[in-house]
């Protein structure tokens, strides 16, 4: 299996931690990890990409893993980092997808880089806050409600202190302990998936993402609850929106809202899916769909 890890220079003297896997001569697909997370991919996904002709590229978002922080970043800031990576690799056109907190960042690339992004898939992605016609907190798990309400209403120093504590607990947790820590936002479907084959990968992605600091998690939290720097309605490239009705991390209504407001979006709004099950069972389908637009 072909993989390589490297650092890419970014705007302002920053650096970005990048993982490239699969067929390194294949169709490039840029992947945005969840919140928290890092430049990591499941082994089975990387192996399949090599045989299927997909060049998977993912990176630790600013402030996560070994990537430099971009203080005060909004969601749209990711576009300059995506451009830096693609320019460094010599890639002109690419597809992209994002999971959960990576969803808005994949949409930013589609909205603001239409000359380079051929298609986008948003998987269990959060909607903007506030969003007209959306009860943003309805049917969201207790831990996420508390975290986002704190971010919206508290002093940034208090938010930072709370996130530092959460990050420390995540870093110290075993896979089983991490699952317990996030249990209030795990549906039965997601808990079953975690127990079967996703637990170790989710643990690896979260703990590596927070290994050096809580900067990425803090900056993501602020970015999601402030203006994104673009509107989903600006997107004109082919778009998929995947969302499950059993999702307690990002409620079903968020996916429905996005699908209704992105012109021509192809909705995959599935009643029996949770947050993770809307993703890990369908990556082959997502990559195949994205590849057809090159």
More confidently predicted of 64 and 189: 64
| Range in 120-134, 188-202, 219-233, 247-261 with the lowest mean pLDDT | 188-202
Q: 291 falls in which pLDDT band (50, 70, 90)?
A: very high
Q: Token pair 């607990």 is at which residue?
A: 169
Over residues 237-265, mean pLDDT: 97
Reported as a single tens digit per residue, the pLDDT across 81-107 is 999 999 999 999 999 999 999 999 999
Reported as a single tens digit per residue, the pLDDT across 210-224 is 999 999 999 999 999
Amino acid 65: pLDDT: 98
How far apart, in whole angstroms, are the C-alpha atoms of residue 20 and residue 42? 12
pLDDT score of 188 more than 70: yes
34 closest CA partner among 61, 56, 8, 10 = 61
pLDDT score of 280 more than 90: no
**Six token digits for residue 77:** 């800031």
More confidently predicted of 116 and 193: 116
How far is residue 217 from each of residues 20, 164, 227, 246, measured CA to CA in Å?
Answer: 23, 9, 17, 24
SS3 label, residue 262: coil
- Provide the sign of the torsion angle of the four alpha carbons 212, 215, 221, 223, taken in this order: negative
Over residues 278-291, mean pLDDT: 93
SS3 label, residue 70: coil
Q: 1 falls in which pLDDT band (50, 70, 90)?
A: low
DSSP calls for 163-221: HHHHHHHHHH--HHHHHHHTGGG--HHHHHHIIIIIHHHHHHHHHHHTSS-SHHHHHHH
Reported as a single tens digit per residue, the pLDDT across 129-180 is 999 999 999 999 999 999 999 999 999 999 999 999 999 999 999 999 998 9
Q: 194 falls in which pLDDT band (50, 70, 90)?
A: confident
Q: Considering the chain, what is the average pLDDT of its residues?
A: 96
How far apart, in whole angstroms, are the C-alpha atoms of residue 103 and residue 106? 5
Q: Token pair 């931690």 is at which residue?
A: 17
- HSE of 2, CA atoms in CB hemisphere, 13 A: 15
SS3 label, residue 261: helix
Amino acid 116: pLDDT: 98
Q: Where are the domains of the chain?
A: 3-291
pLDDT score of 293 more than 70: yes
**Phi, then psi, of 67 in degrees rounded to 5:** -75, 135
Amino acid 199: pLDDT: 81
- HSE of 126, CA atoms in CB hemisphere, 13 A: 28
How far apart, in whole angstroms, are the C-alpha atoms of residue 261 and residue 122? 13
pLDDT score of 250 more than 80: yes
Homologous superfamily in CATH for domain 3-291: Alpha/Beta hydrolase fold, catalytic domain (3.40.50.1820)
Question: What pairs with residue 98 in β-bridges?
Answer: 32, 122
pLDDT score of 197 more than 80: no
User: Cβ(57)–Cβ(20) under 8 Å?
Assistant: yes
**CA end-to-end span of the chain:** 24
> ∠ CA(41), CA(280), CA(7), 5° rounding?
15
């Amino acid at each position: 299996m072909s993989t390589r890890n490297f650092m890419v220079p970014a705007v302002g003297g920053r650096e970005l931690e990048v993982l490239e896997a699969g067929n390194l001569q294949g169709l490039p697909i840029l992947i945005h990890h969840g919140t928290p997370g890092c430049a990591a991919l499941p082994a089975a996904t990387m192996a399949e990409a090599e045989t299927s002709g997909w060049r998977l590229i993912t990176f630790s978002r600013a402030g996560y893993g070994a990537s430099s922080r971009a203080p005060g970043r909004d969601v749209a800031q990711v576009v300059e980092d995506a451009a830096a990576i693609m320019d460094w690799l010599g890639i002109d056109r690419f597809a992209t997808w994002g999971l959960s907190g990576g969803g808005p960042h994949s949409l930013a690339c589609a909205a603001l880089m239409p000359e380079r992004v051929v298609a986008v898939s948003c998987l269990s992605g959060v909607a903007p806050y506030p969003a007209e016609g959306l009860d943003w907190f309805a049917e969201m798990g207790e831990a996420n409600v508390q975290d986002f309400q704190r971010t919206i209403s508290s002093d940034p120093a208090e938010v930072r202190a709370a996130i530092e504590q959460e990050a420390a607990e995540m870093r110290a947790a075993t896979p089983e302990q991490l699952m317990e820590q996030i249990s209030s936002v795990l549906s039965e479907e997601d808990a079953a998936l975690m127990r079967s084959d996703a637990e170790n990968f989710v643990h690896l992605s979260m703990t590596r993402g927070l290994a050096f600091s809580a900067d990425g998690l803090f900056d993501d939290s602020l970015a999601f609850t402030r203006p994104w720097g673009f509107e989903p309605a600006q997107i004109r490239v082919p778009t998929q929106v995947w969302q499950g009705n059993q999702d307690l991390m990002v409620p079903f209504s968020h996916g429905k809202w996005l699908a209704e407001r992105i012109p021509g979006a192809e909705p995959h709004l599935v009643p029996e899916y949770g947050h993770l099950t809307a993703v890990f069972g369908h990556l082959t389908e997502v990559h195949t769909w994205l590849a057809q637009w090159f």
